[in-house]
Amino acid sequence: QQQVKQSPQSLIVQKGGISIINCAYENTAFDYFPWYQQFPGKGPALLIAIRPDVSEKKEGRFTISFNKSAKQFSLHIMDSQPGDSATYFCAAALYSSASKIIFGSGTRLSIRP
C-alpha cells in the first residue's frame, strides 16, 4: 500500500510563531509533493509544491523542506496568522503520471491570537 504519513493530527500555535507539519512517504518513485490548504466547508486548494530535485522551496511565509534520503518533507509556516487556521494535507504523486495522488491524513492547524 502506498502511504503518506502525516503528523501531527492537530496543532495549536501562537500568532507570530512557526507552524511545522511533517510527512513521510514510502514509494521512492514519487516525484511530486504538493501541500493543500482546506478551510471549513470548502474544498482543498493547492498551497505550494516541490519536486525532489531541490531541498527547499519558499513562497512567502510558506516553505517546504524536502529530505530525499529520509523520504520526508515538511511544511513550515513562518509568522503564523489566525487566517492560516485550516486543515493542511500533504500529498505525493508521480509527476509523469499524475492520475493518482496519495494524500496524508491531514493536520488541523489553529493559530491563537
Partner 1 sequence: NAGVTQTPKFQVLKTGQSMTLQCAQDMNHNSMYWYRQDPGMGLRLIYYSASEGTTDKGEVPNGYNVSRLNKREFSLRLESAAPSQTSVYFCASLKVKQAHTTQYFGPGTRLLVL
Shortest Cβ distance from residue 39 to partner 1 (Å)?
11
DSSP label of 98: T
Q: What is the spatial distance between Cα 26 and Cα 84, in angstroms, rounded to a whole number? A: 29
Q: Cβ distance 111 to 81 under 8 Å?
A: yes
* Residue ranges that bind partner 1, judged by CB under 8 A: 6, 9, 32, 34, 36, 41-46, 49, 51, 89, 93, 95, 98-101, 103-106
Question: Quick one: 20 or 102, whose CB is closer to partner 1?
Answer: 102
Shortest Cβ distance from residue 60 to partner 1 (Å)?
16
Task: Tell me the three state secondary structure of residue 66.
Answer: strand
Question: Quick one: 70 or 98, whose CB is closer to partner 1?
Answer: 98
Shortest Cβ distance from residue 100 to partner 1 (Å)?
6
Q: What is the spatial distance between Cα 92 and Cα 2, in angstroms, rounded to a whole number? A: 10
